[in-house]
Amino acid sequence: MSALQSASAKGQPAAAGPYDVVVVGAGFAGMYMLHRLRQQGLSARVYEQGGDVGGTWYWNRYPGARCDVESMQYSYSFDEELQQQWEWSERYAPQPEILKYANHVADRFNLRSDIQLNTRVDRAEFDESTNSWSVTTSDGKTVTARYVVLATGCLSNAKMPDIKGLSDFKGRVYHTGHWPHEEIDFTGQRVGVIGTGSSGIQSVPVIAEQASHLTVFQRTANFSIPARNAALTAEERDSFRANYPEIRRIAREEMRNGIVQEVPDRGALDDGENERRERFEARWSKGGLTFMGVYNNLAFDQAANDTAADFVRDKIAEIVKDPQTAKLLQPNDHPIGSKRICIDTDYFATFNRPNVTLVDIKSDPITEILPHAVRTSAKEIEVDALVLATGFDAMTGSVAKIDIRGRNGQTLNQKWAEGPRTYLGLMSAGFPNLFIITGPGSPSVLSNMIVSIEQHVEWIADCIAHMRDRDLVAIEASRDAEDRWVAHVNEVAHTTLYPQANSWYMGANIPGKPQIFMPYIGGVGLYRQICNDVAAKGYEGFAMTAAEPMQRAAS
């Protein structure tokens, strides 16, 4: 037993370390990581900057926030009793319910004693002489751990827009990704929403019901599909529960995005126009993310993609009564699905309300925020409150905020200056014993996040167990394996239409960020197989270091 493991063997994790593992973040990834490590008898400390567990669901409390993956599938599968007992109320769970679920998991598995809330990890430095990390937190303390796991989330670093005068605005300013905890009531207020991605599209219909007037500032129109949310019936829940083992297996192994759905057997151009329209209609009526799964080539073939995009543009024109507003709401600068498709409840119909106005800030840009108004080049719009639905520095933003120093003092930010480089999204060469959950180079944001989180957590836990059993003290991705993986991720991305969009997948929403398609688009099934094969071949592509004989004798 190593010195780093001894704390847990005494039954109690030491308060001040050293730990076997430091986990950064207590969202769905960090919580499950902690649970798995404890099951293996390892000591772990989780640091969470928020005031409670839940990660993305702790921060994103904006009106209308709910998951766009169906609740029966957006849930942990690792514990049979948990998945049998938890009662999801709706097809798509609202944010408060998902947060309640996260809290339930923390309590049920007694996780809280090893989670330190309200604490940021500021710095992590690898010590090559001891093969361990020194981790410094915002409370000024430093602990050591053999391993660090970054469970920092992919959409957790909210991006404030750089708009002149914003700080002088006299009303309240809210970012959807940093929503206050108290109830916000916009009744009687003139509200401006800037941004029309998933967060804006979910919040606009709800805010419109409260506000005396809502102005939506849209730079880029987005494709959105109706959610068709509804209460789950007992039969629906029971049917999932009875079939969970098979449903979870299919999600993990057979579905590209980890969401069980019908698999298309043909491309869009294999059908005639009438049949195609019927199929699109059927998916539109069903609602949700599976719209893009109606044909097997929408992500690859521009002509096929155009048929789906035209269908949605026609729907927008049907729903929105004012033709000029409808035209502005019709996306026309990217293939459908190449930016994360949005799922809405009455988004387009909201623009038929007399108290809602759309301002196209592509043709009439915001020039300045005044104390009580938004000024565009053509007009001045008075507002009492501003909602910024302006997104995140995705996938790398939260990692970049930590000063991570690997071999020879190199920082991860230096290494990733031209874009993130990882092997399997799990590790980066030069940074031994540092794992990333759902990192760039893994399916991550292109998948049902919980499916991907569970796969990464289990792979990392197995890897640590493998090392412990063999007295290995360090694991590191080789440059060669990393280079090949980065090239593969890039190559696969460029067989699709995704790189054509200025999306956050590409880093395009952050000025100066390298434009590289960050997630791995090969699908969760194939990716899982690759990860399993790598492990089965003795962690091929990773270098592992044995403990010094002295260290081994002492353990």
Least distance in Å: CB of 336 to ligand NAP?
A: 14
The answer to whether 32 touches 78, Cβ cutoff 8 Å, is yes
Q: Which amino acid is at 95?
A: Q
440 binds ligand NAP (CB under 6 A): no
Give residues 314-343 in contact with ligand NAP (rule: CB under 6 A).
340, 343
- Is residue 519 a contact point for ligand NAP (CB under 6 A)? no
Write the CB contacts of 468 (distance below 8 Å, at least 6 apart in sequence): 2, 5, 40, 42
Can you give the C-alpha Rg of the chain in angstroms? Answer: 24
Q: Is 207 in the site for ligand NAP (CB under 6 A)?
A: no
Q: Which of 199, 215, 224, 398 binds ligand NAP (CB under 6 A)?
A: 199
Among 459, 451, 441, which Cα is nearest to 518's?
441
Taking CB under 6 A as the binding criterion, the range among 64-72, 94-102, 245-253, 277-285 that sits at the site for ligand NAP is 64-72
Can residue 68 be called a binding residue for ligand NAP (CB under 6 A)?
yes
Q: Are 340 and 299 within 8 A, CB to CB?
A: no
Q: Which amino acid is at 495?
A: T
Name the minimum Å distance from CB 224 to ligand NAP: 10
Residue with tokens 């699709």: 496
CB 225 within 8 A of CB 284: yes
Q: Identify the residue among 504, 517, 520, 527 touching ligand NAP (CB under 6 A).
A: 504
Q: Is 501 in the site for ligand NAP (CB under 6 A)?
A: no
95 binds ligand NAP (CB under 6 A): no
- 288 or 420: whose CB is closer to ligand NAP? 288
Q: Does 196 bind ligand NAP (CB under 6 A)?
A: yes
- Among 30, 192, 391, 439, the residue binding ligand NAP under the rule CB under 6 A is 391
CA distance 139 to 129: 26
With CA atoms as reference, report the closest residue to 428 among 396, 462, 461: 396
Which C-beta is closer to ligand NAP: that of 8 or that of 257? 257
Q: Which of 119, 136, 151, 138 is nearest to 17 (CA)?
A: 136
Q: Does 197 bind ligand NAP (CB under 6 A)?
A: yes
Give yes or no for residue 194 binding ligand NAP (CB under 6 A): yes
Q: Which residue has the tokens 């710095």?
A: 123
In the complex, minimum distance from the CB of residue 360 to ligand NAP, in angstroms, rounded to a whole number: 11
One residue of 83, 390, 438, 444 binding ligand NAP per CB under 6 A = 390
Closest separation in Å from C-beta 478 to ligand NAP: 32
CA nearest neighbour of 144 among 1, 31, 7, 33: 7
Stretch that binds ligand NAP, among 65-73, 234-242, 454-462, 493-501 (CB under 6 A): 65-73
CA 422, 426, 429, 431 dihedral sign is positive
**Of these, 93, 155, 473, 506, which contacts ligand NAP (CB under 6 A)?**
155
| Rounded least distance, CB 381 to ligand NAP, Å | 14
Residue nearest to ligand NAP (CB): 197
Which residue's entry shows tokens 């925020």?
369
Q: 206 with 350: CB under 8 angstroms?
A: no
**Contact code string over 349-388 relative to ligand NAP, x by CB under 6 A:** ------------x---------------------------
CB atoms within 10 A of CB 254: 13
Distance CA 203, CA 367 (A): 24
Token pair 């390298």: residue: 514
* Positions in the binding site for ligand NAP (CB under 6 A): 66-68, 155, 161, 163, 176, 194-200, 202, 219-220, 340, 343, 361, 389-392, 445, 504, 509
